[in-house]
Structure 1
Amino acid sequence: MLSILVPIYNYNVYPLVLELHKQCTDCGINFEILCQDDASESGLNVFNENVNALSNCSFVSLKKNLAHRENRNSLAEKAKFDYLLFIDGDSIIIHNNYIQKYIDNFHDYDVIYGGRLHPEKCPSNTQTLRWKYGRLIEDKTTANRNKNPYQSLLFNNTVIKKERFNKVKFDKNIKKYGHDDTQLSYQLSLLKSKVNHIDNPVEHGAIDTNFDYLNKTKESLENLILLYEEEKIAVDFIRLIQLYHFLKRTKSTFIVSKIYTFFEKQFFKNLTGKNPNLLVFNLFRVGYLCSIHPKN
Structure 2
Amino acid sequence: MLSILIPTYNYYIYDLVLNIHEKCLKENIDFEIICLDDHSDTNFTEANKKIEKLSNCYYKISSKNKGRVATREHLAELAKYKWLLFLDADVLPKNYNFIKKYINYLGLEYAAIFGGFYYDENSKNKHLLRWKYGKKNEQVPAKQRNLKPYKVVISANLLIKKDTYLPISKQLKTNTYGGDLIFAALLKEQHIKILHIDNEVVHLGLENNKSFL
TM-score category of the 2 structures, normalised to the smaller one: over 0.9
Identical positions, percent: 36
Shift of 1:53: 0.7
The higher-RCO structure (CA 8 Å, 6+ apart) is 2
Structure 1 position 121 matched with structure 2 position 122: yes
Q: Structure 1 residues 11, 197: closer, same or farther in 2, change over 3 A?
A: same
Q: Is residue 6–residue 35 contact of structure 2 (8 Å, CA) maintained in 1?
A: yes
Matches of 1:121 and 1:13, distance apart in 2: 20
**How far apart in 2 are the matches of 1:88 and 1:64?**
19
Work out the CA distance in 1 between the residues paired with 2:42 and 2:68.
Answer: 16
Deviation at 1:42, TM superposition (A): 4.1
Q: CA deviation at 1:172?
A: 5.3
Change (3 A) 1:174 1:94: closer
Deviation at 1:210, TM superposition (A): 1.9
3-state SS, counterpart of residue 146 of structure 2: helix
- Structure 2 counterpart of 1:167: 167
Structure 1 runs (4+) greater than 4 angstroms displaced: none
Listed as ranges, the matches of 1:1-296 within 5 Å are 1-106=1-106, 107-125=108-126, 127-169=127-169, 171=171, 173-175=173-175, 177-214=176-213
Q: CA deviation at 1:156?
A: 0.8
| Distance in 2 (alpha carbons) for counterparts of 1:149 and 1:37 | 31
Q: Tell whether the 8 Å contact from 2:23 to 2:99 is kept in structure 1 after alignment.
A: yes
Superimposed CA distance per residue, residues 58-90 of structure 1 (whole angstroms, 9 cap, x where no aligned partner)? 011222000111111111111110000010011
| CA distance in structure 1 between the partners assigned to 2:207 and 2:34 by the alignment | 25
> Counterpart of 2:72 in structure 1: which amino acid?
R
User: TM-score, normalized by length of structure 1?
Assistant: 0.69
Distance 1:98 1:74 in 2: 25
**Is the 8 Å Cα contact of residues 69 and 171 (structure 1) preserved in structure 2?**
no
Q: Deviations over 1:197-256 (max 9, x none)?
A: 101000001111122223xxxxxxxxxxxxxxxxxxxxxxxxxxxxxxxxxxxxxxxxxx
Tell me the amino acid that sits aligned with residue 213 of structure 1. F
Larger Rg: 1
Q: Which amino acid aligns with 1:69?
A: V
Report if aligned partners of 2:172, 2:182 keep a CA contact under 8 Å in 1.
no
1:280 maps to which residue? none
The normalised TM-score by structure 2 is 0.95
In structure 2, do the counterparts of structure 1 residues 170 and 121 end up closer, same or farther at CA, with 3 Å as the change threshold? farther
How many angstroms apart in 2 are the aligned matches of 1:32 and 1:43? 25
Cα 1:16/1:73, change in 2 over 3 Å: same
**Residues 172-205 of structure 1: CA distance to partner in whole angstroms, max 9, x if unpaired?**
5324x21211111111111111111101000001
Please tell me the root mean square deviation across aligned C-alpha atoms, in Å: 1.4
Task: Name the SS of the counterpart of 1:186 in structure 2.
Answer: helix
Distance change in 2, residues 1:192/1:171 (3 Å): closer
How many pairs are equivalent?
A: 212
CA contact (8 A) 1:170 1:184 kept: no
**Conserved? CA contact 1:171–1:180, under 8 Å:** no
The structure carrying a bigger strand percent of its residues is 2
SS in 1 for 2:43: coil
Paired with 1:122 and 1:161, the residues of 2 have a C-alpha distance of 33
Aligned counterparts of 2:42 and 2:211: Cα–Cα separation in 1: 19
Gaps of 5+ in 1: 215-296
State the distance in 2 between where 1:17 and 1:105 align: 22
CA distance in 1 between counterparts of 2:212 and 2:72 reads 21
Instruction: Please state how far the C-alpha of 1:113 moved relative to its aligned partner.
Output: 0.4
Answer whether contact 2:69 2:173 (CA < 8 A) is retained.
no
